[in-house]
């Protein structure tokens, strides 16, 4: 499928979705997020893809939801058609590993979609924030919830109530970001991580993601029990036999993703 506002590239088992509205700092409009949702649906169905990277450009991952598209919105049409739910939430529903590669601005909805990914690798030029309060609104696609879980209540309150930006170093120290690398190394670093992930057993990757995510909605005891059941379930896969036998035979595993 031809896309207008994103670029989709594949390299072996890794696919990269690049948000591509540079003049608007990749502001998230419905068309672009519809394309992201479509691309993710195709990549999820494609057994040849094991990991996805979501990125922007050097100046902006995304500077938020498109304010010009939102300005005339009204409650009833937002409620009835919920333009945010279907498209943006395709990222949080995506079942294969997805990494956000963030350089420049990740603000408002941009920060929120980065947080929907499994983890964020940022360049040292990245800036994160939830500045919606400056527009008379609040985060609307999970920012208040995911940010508080990632960085704790105090910093989430600080960021959301003041609308200030947080640099890459503060984001890493507060737990929002997994790694920070020099801007010129960002895509190589993320590609290396994505290739490594895509080379693992796909059922194990998907179950791992599901178990960690589920833990946020469960007690510790329930989470541990769920982890144990899912660990046991992986002994139904050929990949478990291959992975363990490869270790014993001192060779690299060749996972068949089943």
* Residues designated catalytic: 65, 109, 112, 132
Q: Supply the minimum distance, in Å, between the C-beta of residue 94 and ligand CO8.
A: 17
Among 5, 24, 150, 234, binds ligand CO8 (CB under 6 A): 24
Q: Supply the minimum distance, in Å, between the C-beta of residue 195 and ligand CO8.
A: 31
By the rule CB under 6 A, 27 interacts with ligand CO8: yes
Give the count of beta carbons closer than 10 Å to the beta carbon of residue 214. 14
CB 131 within 8 A of CB 139: no
**In terms of C-beta density within 10 A (0-12 exposed, 13-18 middle, 19 or more buried), how is residue 184 classed?**
exposed
By the rule CB under 6 A, 89 interacts with ligand CO8: no
Among 37, 51, 63, 98, binds ligand CO8 (CB under 6 A): 63
Among 97, 131, 199, 203, binds ligand CO8 (CB under 6 A): 131
Which residues have CB under 8 Å from 72's CB, separation 6+? none
Q: Is the dihedral of CA 84, 209, 51, 176 positive or negative?
A: positive
CB 119 within 8 A of CB 100: yes
Among 6, 14, 17, 65, binds ligand CO8 (CB under 6 A): 65
- The residues that touch ligand CO8, with contacts defined as CB under 6 A, are 24-25, 27-28, 63-68, 84, 88, 105, 107-109, 131-132, 135, 139-141
């Amino acid at each position: 499928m031809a896309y207008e506002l994103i670029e989709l590239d594949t390299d072996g088992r890794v696919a990269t979705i690049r948000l591509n509205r540079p003049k608007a700092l990749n502001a998230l409009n419905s068309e672009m997020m519809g394309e992201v949702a479509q691309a993710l649906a195709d990549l999820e169905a494609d057994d040849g893809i094991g990991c996805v990277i979501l990125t922007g450009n050097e100046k902006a991952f995304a500077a938020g939801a498109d304010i010009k598209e939102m300005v005339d919105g009204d409650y009833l049409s937002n409620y009835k058609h919920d333009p945010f739910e279907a498209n943006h939430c395709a990222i949080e529903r995506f079942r294969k590993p997805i990494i956000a590669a963030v350089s420049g601005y990740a603000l408002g909805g941009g920060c929120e979609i980065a947080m929907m990914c499994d983890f964020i690798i940022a360049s040292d030029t990245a800036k994160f924030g939830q500045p919606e309060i400056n527009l008379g609104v609040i985060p609307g696609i999970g920012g208040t919830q995911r940010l508080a879980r990632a960085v704790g209540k105090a910093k989430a309150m600080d960021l959301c109530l003041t609308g200030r930006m947080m640099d890459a170093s503060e984001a890493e120290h507060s737990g929002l970001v997994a790694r920070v690398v020099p801007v010129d190394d960002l895509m190589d670093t993320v590609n290396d991580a994505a290739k490594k992930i895509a080379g693992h057993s796909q059922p194990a990757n998907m179950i791992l993601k599901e178990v960690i995510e589920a833990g946020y909605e469960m007690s510790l005891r329930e989470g541990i029990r769920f982890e144990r059941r899912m660990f046991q379930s992986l002994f139904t896969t050929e990949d478990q036999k291959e992975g363990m036998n490869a270790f014993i035979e001192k060779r690299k595993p060749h996972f068949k993703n089943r």
